[in-house]
């Protein structure tokens, strides 16, 4: 069995184009495979061999490193001084010299070795390209297309790579289908056994922040900023905003004229998720009052040490403060970092009791803050290169 080197040269260019890899990278992979095949047929596996493939002519040249010795005992690793002098007049005993060998063909076993090495190294090269391509895009929003849905996992096409969106990173109630175009937040690029694993999200709070960055140019200039953000994806988000420039209304800036900016964000995440935009405050009592919006708060008593707060509201405001299923008070707690107790107004002064069982007796109204915490199929792509390797001639 012989390797058709000219056909192999053509395959290098085809594979480079199909896999979106640099041509020199694919050529290097093939040369490494040919070096392994050379050692299999003509030398020893421990030899130091470099192979050069001329893509224009299809010629293959091998360069074997040998030590210059006075008496040759192992011709695979050694060369006499007289022979070495013919190659390099300046060479001395003990030095290494590269001996050029022209390669015309390989046997069946060597060709199979070359095939296995090429497949393995191509996958490794492809993984490195993906890593370098997407590592600088971590913590940004990128465009994606849903490729398929597998149970609770959504697989997306990011252009040169595939990403996964686990159930925990999806928007509650959102439905995904093949071919759907969506925006996703690239959380991480993990090195796995099967290659780079790109983890994307639509359910994290950073996704909301990036969507607002695209709609609010004042964030880029630093005139306004998002100080705090709490989110229950698919349900509700609370955003605390701040203005660094006197005279600029931070809430109005994020809402936009006729609600254009906040509506643009909601159209991306789904109309079912509501967004509350409030003013951030360094004063924790004021911040808690803002965070519980639209509740009308009568009084706030906080305990800085235990990070707890008792909020007093009128009886008709209690259900609003707590929200459906405790949603409003829960998000306010996440936003402020304080455990919040909602109590109805009784006319008596309420104080924070860190050692009481308030959380147990009023579980629905007490919330603890959370702690932050088309590439073608590879079988098709590799076929042209494998065919070139396995091509036989009489």
Say whether pTM exceeds 0.85: no
- What's the fold here for domain 215-280? GMP Synthetase; Chain A, domain 3 (3.30.300)
pLDDT in tens, the chain (394 residues): 445 666 777 777 777 777 777 888 888 888 888 888 888 777 777 788 888 888 777 788 888 888 888 888 888 788 888 888 888 888 888 888 888 877 777 766 666 777 777 777 777 777 777 777 788 888 999 999 999 999 899 999 988 788 999 999 999 989 999 999 999 999 988 766 566 678 999 999 999 999 999 999 999 999 999 999 999 999 999 999 999 999 999 999 999 999 999 999 999 998 889 999 999 999 999 999 999 988 999 999 999 999 999 999 999 999 999 998 899 999 999 999 999 999 998 755 445 554 444 334 344 444 555 544 444 455 554 555 556 555 543 3
Structure tokens at 99: 């001996």
What is the distance between the alpha carbons of residues 259 and 241, in angstroms, rounded to a whole number? 16
Tokens read off for 109: 């076993």
What is the DSSP annotation of 159-183? Answer: SSSEEEE-GGGSPTT----TT-EEE
Asked if the domains 5-133 and 215-280 are classified in one and the same CATH topology, the answer is no
- The CATH architecture annotation of domain 289-371 reads 2-Layer Sandwich (3.30)
SS (H, E, C) 67-104: EEECCCCCCCCEEEHHHHHHHCCCCCCCCEEEEEEEEC
- Are 251 and 278 spatial neighbours (Cβ–Cβ below 8 Å)? yes
Q: CATH number for the 5-133 domain, one of 3.90.180.10, 1.10.287.3610, 3.30.1480.10, 3.30.460.80?
A: 3.30.1480.10
Q: Whole-angstrom distance between the N-terminal and C-terminal Cα of the chain?
A: 8
Q: Which value, to the nearest 10 degrees, does the dihedral of the CA atoms of residues 35, 51, 64, 59 take?
A: 120
Element housing 39 (H / E) = helix 23-42
Structure-token pair, residue 85? 């002098």
Contact 257, 277 (CB under 8 A): no
- Report the 10 Å Cβ neighbour count for 158: 21
Listing from the earlier edge strand, what are the strands of the sheet with 274-279? 224-232, 236-243, 274-279
Name which of 250, 271, 253, 323 is nearest 292 in CA terms. 323
CATH 3.30.300.30 fits 138-203, yes or no: no
Domain extent listing, the chain: 5-133, 138-203, 215-280, 289-371
Which regions of 82-140 does DSSP assign to beta strands (E)? 96-103
């Amino acid at each position: 069995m012989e390797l058709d080197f000219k056909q192999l040269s053509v395959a290098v260019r085809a594979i480079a184009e199909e896999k979106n890899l640099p041509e020199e990278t694919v050529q290097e992979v093939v040369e490494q495979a040919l070096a392994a095949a050379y050692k299999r047929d003509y030398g020893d596996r421990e030899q130091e061999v470099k192979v050069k493939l001329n893509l224009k002519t299809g010629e293959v040249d091998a360069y074997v490193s040998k030590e210059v010795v006075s008496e040759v005992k192992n011709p695979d690793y050694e060369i006499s001084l007289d022979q070495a002098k013919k190659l390099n007049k300046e060479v001395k005993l003990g030095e290494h010299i590269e001996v050029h060998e022209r390669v015309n063909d390989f046997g069946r076993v060597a060709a199979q070795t070359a095939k296995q090495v090429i497949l393995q190294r191509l996958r490794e090269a492809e993984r490195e390209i993906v890593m370098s391509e997407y590592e600088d895009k971590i913590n940004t929003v990128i465009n994606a297309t849903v490729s398929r849905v597998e149970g609770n996992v959504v697989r997306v096409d990011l252009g040169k790579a595939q990403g996964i969106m686990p159930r925990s990173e999806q928007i509650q109630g959102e439905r995904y289908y093949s071919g759907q175009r969506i925006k996703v937040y690239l959380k991480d690029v993990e090195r796995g056994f099967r290659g780079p694993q790109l983890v994307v999200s639509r359910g994290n709070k950073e996704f909301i922040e990036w969507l607002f960055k695209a709609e609010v140019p004042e964030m880029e200039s630093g005139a306004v900023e998002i100080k705090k953000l709490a989110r229950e994806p698919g349900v509700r988000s609370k955003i605390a905003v701040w203005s660094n420039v006197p005279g600029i209304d931070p809430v109005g800036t994020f809402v936009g004229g006729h609600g254009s900016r906040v509506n643009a964000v909601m159209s991306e995440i789904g109309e079912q998720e509501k967004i509350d935009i409030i003013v951030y405050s360094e004063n924790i009592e004021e911040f808690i009052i803002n965070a519980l919006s639209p509740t009308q708060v009568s009084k706030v008593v906080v305990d800085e040490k235990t990070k707890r707060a008792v909020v007093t509201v009128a009886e008709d405001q209690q259900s609003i403060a707590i929200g459906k299923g405790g949603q409003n008070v829960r998000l306010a707690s996440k936003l402020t970092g304080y455990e919040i107790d909602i109590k109805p107004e009784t006319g008596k002064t309420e104080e924070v009791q860190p050692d009481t069982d308030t959380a147990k007796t009023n579980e629905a109204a007490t919330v603890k803050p959370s702690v932050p915490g088309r590439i073608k199929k590879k079988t098709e792509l590799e076929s042209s290169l494998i065919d070139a390797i396995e091509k036989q001639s009489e």
